[in-house]
Amino acid sequence: MKVSRRNWLRTALYGTPLSGFSYGGLVEKNVLSVNRVDIPVAVERSGLHGLKVGLMSDFHHDDFGNETLIRRAVSVLNKENVDVVLLAGDYISDQTAAMESLCGVLSELRPKLGSFGVLGNHDGWHFDESIPRLLEHAGVRLLINDSVEFDEFAVAGLDSYWAGHPDMVRALRSVPSEKPVLLGWHEPDPFDYYAENNVALQVSGHTHGGQICAPVYGPVLLPRYGKNYPFGHYQKHNRSLYVTRGMGTLDIPARFLCAPELAILTMRDFSISSPS
C-alpha cells in the first residue's frame, strides 16, 4: 500500500514517544537555525565576490505559521546587511488569506538591492492575484520566468517545476551570456535538468529538509522533485545549489532533527585574499 507524505508524517509524529512529540512540536519548530555558508565562485565570476544573499522558503503560513519566527529571521537579515533576499516559494499551503499577515512581516526586509521571490508548488496549485499583489506591496518582486539585471549579476526566477511551466530560455532571454545569474527555483532536483553556463547559484526549498528526520539516517521521506538534494550546499562543475530546510511546517506542526533555517550565503572567489 502506498503511504502518502502526509500520512507518513502524522504517523511519525503521533507514533513517537511523548517526549519526541513535545520536542518536535513545541521546541524545535520554533528554533531558528541561522546558517552562514560561503559559496565558491569561479575566477571569471569574481564580480560576485562578497555578495551576500539571504534565503528563506516554505513558510506555509496558513499551516501552523509562526510569525514570531519569521520576524526573528527578518531581524537577522537586516542586521547582516545582506545585498539580496531570495524567497524560494510556498508562502502558503492552500489558503491565500494568510498572505496578508506574512507579507506584513516580509515588508520589514531591508536588503541593499532588493527582495525577490518565486512560486512554490502550493502557491501554484492555489494561485490567485493576491499572491503577487501582496508580495509587491511588501517590496518583494515575484519572478515567474523572468529576471532582473544588476551591474555584476542578474537575479532570475523560474515557475514551479511541479505546479507551473518553468521556462529557462524566457527567464534569461535578456541576460548577457557572460553575466552570472542567481537563480531561484522552488524545487531543487531540476538542478540536474539544465546546463546554462551563466547560472552561478540556484537556490531552492521545497524539501523542508525532510521535516522529520531519523538519527544518523537523516530525512526519511522527501517530496517529488526534492529527493536528490534534501538540504545544504551542492556543487556541479561551476554551478552551485543551496537547498534550505525552510521556515514552516506542512501537514503536522512539528520538526525533528531538522530545525527551521535562515540561510545567509556569501559568494566567495577564494583566489582573492581577504584583507588582513
Residues 15-74 pLDDT 10s: 555 444 455 455 799 999 999 999 999 888 999 999 999 999 999 999 988 999 999 999
Which domains, from first to last, does the chain contain? Answer: 5-268 (3.60.21.10)
Q: How far apart are CA 211 and CA 255, in angstroms?
A: 5
- Residue 27 gets which letter from DSSP? I
Quick check: 25 and 254 in contact, CB under 8 A? yes
Residue 196 confidence (pLDDT): 79
Residue 220 confidence (pLDDT): 87
- Residue of 49 and 1 predicted with greater confidence: 49
Residue 120 confidence (pLDDT): 98
Does pLDDT of 79 surpass 70? yes
Q: How far apart are CA 100 and CA 240, in angstroms?
A: 33
Q: How far apart are CA 74 and CA 27, in angstroms?
A: 20
Does pLDDT of 14 surpass 90? no
Share of the chain above pLDDT 70, in %: 89
R_g of the chain, CA atoms, integer Å: 18
Report the pLDDT averaged over residues 246-269: 95
Q: What is the mean pLDDT of the chain?
A: 91
End-to-end alpha carbon distance in the chain:
61
Tens digit of pLDDT for each residue in 201-246?
Answer: 999 999 999 999 999 999 989 999 999 999 999 999 899 999 999 9
Residue 146 confidence (pLDDT): 98
**Which residues, 6+ apart, have CB-to-CB distance to 274 below 8 Å?**
none
Quick check: 120 and 160 in contact, CB under 8 A? yes
Q: Report CA dihedral (143, 79, 244, 69) to the nearest 10 degrees.
A: -100
- Residue of 14 and 154 predicted with greater confidence: 154
Residue 13 confidence (pLDDT): 54
Quick check: 42 and 238 in contact, CB under 8 A? yes
Q: Which stretch, 67-71, 251-255, 271-275, has highest mean pLDDT?
A: 67-71
Q: How far apart are CA 30 and CA 130, in angstroms?
A: 27
Cell numbers for 236: 556541479
Residue 274 confidence (pLDDT): 60
Cell numbers for 28: 524545535
Report the pLDDT averaged over residues 93-104: 97
